[in-house]
Chains A and B, each alone.
Chain A
Amino acid sequence: MNVDLGSTTGGRQQPALSVALSGVGRTFPTPGGGTREVLREVDLDVRAGEVIALVGPSGCGKSTLLRQISALDAPTTGSVVVDGVPVGPGDLRTAVAFQEPRLLPWRTLTANVAFGLPRGTPKQLGAARVAELLELVGLADSATLRPRQVSGGMAQRTSLARALARAPGVLLLDEPFGALDALTRLRMQDLLLNVHAARPTTVLLVTHDVEEALYLADRVVLLRDLRDSTPEDTSIARIVEVPGDRPRDRADHELTELRAELLEGLGVAAHHTPAQPA
């Protein structure tokens, strides 16, 4: 698969950028007049070009954490710095694929992907890049359809292409493969790795699939739900370095222990881990 997006980006692709979270906390007011602390004291330094997987139980604040980095929300405490400069609204250096596809229903898939192009992209260059991205996510044949005419998985891939269209330095993916069938899911994981290999980008990816996290990430960050924590606990329960270089063997035996460890961290009993293939 040709993933050299650089050929048509005219050098517009940003280099991978580092992300530094320090002391990030987010507290929401609750309807009763109280407050609900969702994130506490998140410290995380992401190297430029690194792939980070964020895992944690539902409702622990994974999407909220991505929203702090994309500057769609502002932390109550702490700071988010990309490449040494604090993030701000409409930050061009980051691009996000939301947990829901959030496509514009009146636009074709092509026009939806084009929505992600940076402002001022020359028309022809933009069109070529959009076509290339649709090809990349396997939607070239559906380019003229509208979101309501395509499956949830296709919509999600369009949303991924839209984020890639921005050629960001930091790619924020919120369960990007959640709505895909098992096979497409594996294909898209490889696609992401190809994109990443062709044009290094810093990736923060939320997933609830431990296998996916171990297959894709350099490090896996396990978040905890603050509702079942002690006051000393911070949001990050642990950070796991994944050994070995990508592409990894999906059934790598060395990862067995890590897998069990992460599943346990997610509250899944380790002995329920699927048996290893012979």
Chain B
Amino acid sequence: MAERTGTVRRVALGLLVPVALLAVWYAVTASGAVPAYQLPAPDAVWRAATDLLTRGELGVHLAISTQRVLVGFVLGAAVGLAVGAAVGLSRLSEQLLAPTLGAIRAVPSLAWVPLLILWLKIGEDSKVTLIAIGAFFPVYTTVSAALRHVDPQLVEAGRAFGRSGVRLLGTVQLPVALPAVVAGLRLALAQAWLFLVAAELIASSMGLGFLLNDSQQNGRVDRILLAIVLLALLGKLTDALIGLAERRLLWHY
């Protein structure tokens, strides 16, 4: 019961600032302090949403963006897990790969776009690849660091009881690193949304990034705001889902 009240309180406190922001937004637009062509009122943004929704466009934008993020995230995270494990567990692969990967990580997301378009054309592949690059690095970094720092005494205990290779990884090393892995996945998902906009800003005809770009060209500030709010909501929603999984996975750590 006390836990329940705690949750209610937490949600209420978390909602306080967004609600206040909404009120301020409403106040400054209703009073005419800021002209509508710079900041449309909340209800104008709401109308833009329902309008796009009834025309069936909003659903398409949301669906395609979510799909790109999820596919890119899964691919990038999977490769990040594999490469992170290799670099974290083997000195040789660390010496071989870590410097190069460190340098590649320093490349800003937008810098990849021309190259990806050249190589993979403007279709889905180039976008998903860019998002996968974005999701790869947080997973790779956290997994390799966590595996490198697994308590050697526990690893030795694993070996003493006959675990080696993949079984040692599965029974000792990965479980030890699990909290870090989940944290890395969470970061990666956030990063995937960031890279999504970079991918869709450049060359696309659908998606929230396209909506942003297109609205800018047509001067539809209401739709720009709508896209921003939706990106924030979707990012928060997917993060909350991972957070839920995290709690179930890590409750006994």
Counting chain B residues whose Cβ lies within 8 A of the other chain, the interface size class is 10 to 19
* Separation of A41 and B175 alpha carbons in the complex (Å): 40
List, in ascending order, chain A residues with CB within 8 A of B252's CB: 106, 146
- What distance in Å separates the Cβ of B152 from its nearest Cβ neighbour in chain A? 10
Q: Which of B70-78, B122-130, B154-162 contacts A (4 or more CB under 8 A)?
A: B154-162
Against B, the Cβ 8 Å flags (1 = close, 0 = not) of A62-90 are 00000000101000000000000000011
B197 within 8 Å of A by Cβ? no
Within the complex, the shortest CB–CB distance from A94 to chain B, in Å, comes to: 9
Segment from A97-105, A217-225, A235-243, A269-277 that makes contact with B: A97-105
B253 within 8 A of A: yes
Check B156–A72 contact: CB distance below 8 A. Answer: yes
- Whether, in the assembled complex, A166 has its beta carbon less than 8 Å from a beta carbon of chain B, the answer is yes
A92, CB-defined interface residue at 8 Å: yes
A72 & B153 in contact (Cβ 8 Å cutoff): no
B-contact bits for A27-70, CB 8 A (1 contact / 0 none): 00000000000000000000000000000000000000000001
Sorted nearest first, the 4 A-B pairs with minimum C-beta distance are A102-B157, A90-B162, A96-B160, A102-B153
Main secondary structure of the interface of A (DSSP, over half): loop
The reply to whether A116 and B161 form a contact with Cβ atoms under 8 Å apart is yes
A70 B160 Cβ-Cβ under 8 A: yes
A98 and B157 contacting across the interface, CB-CB below 8 Å: yes
Question: Does A26 sit within 8 A of B, measured CB to CB?
Answer: no
Interface residue count for A (Cβ, 8 Å)? 20
- Check B161 against A104 for contact (C-beta < 8 Å): no
Taking CB atoms, residues of chain B closer than 8 Å to A102 are 153-154, 156-157
Interface SS majority for chain B: helix
How far, in whole Å, are A90 and B252 apart by their CA atoms in the complex?
29
Which residue on chain A has the smallest CB distance to residue B164?
A90
B253 in contact with A92 (CB, 8 Å):
no
Contact B175 A115 (CB under 8 A): no
Is the Cβ of A92 less than 8 Å from the Cβ of B175? no
Q: Which of A90, A115, A118, A119 contacts B159 (CB 8 A)?
A: A90
Q: Does B171 contact A (CB under 8 A)?
A: yes
Asked if B159 contacts A89 (CB within 8 A), the reply is yes
A162 beta carbon closer than 8 Å to chain B = yes
Q: What A residues does B178 contact at CB under 8 A?
A: 106
CB atoms of B161 and A166 under 8 A apart: yes
- Give the contacting residue for A72; candidates B160, B171, B253; CB below 8 A: B160
Query: What's the least CB distance linking B196 to chain A, in Å?
Result: 34
Query: For the complex, is B172 an interface residue (Cβ under 8 Å from A)?
Result: yes
* Cβ–Cβ contact A92 & B160, under 8 A: no
Q: In the complex, what's the smallest C-beta–C-beta distance from B235 to chain A, in angstroms?
A: 30
Please encode chain A, from 187 to 224, with 1 for each CB lying within 8 Å of some chain B CB and 0 for all others: 00000000000000000000000000000000000000
Interface flags for A94-130 (1: CB within 8 Å of B; 0: not) read: 0110101010111000000001101100000000000
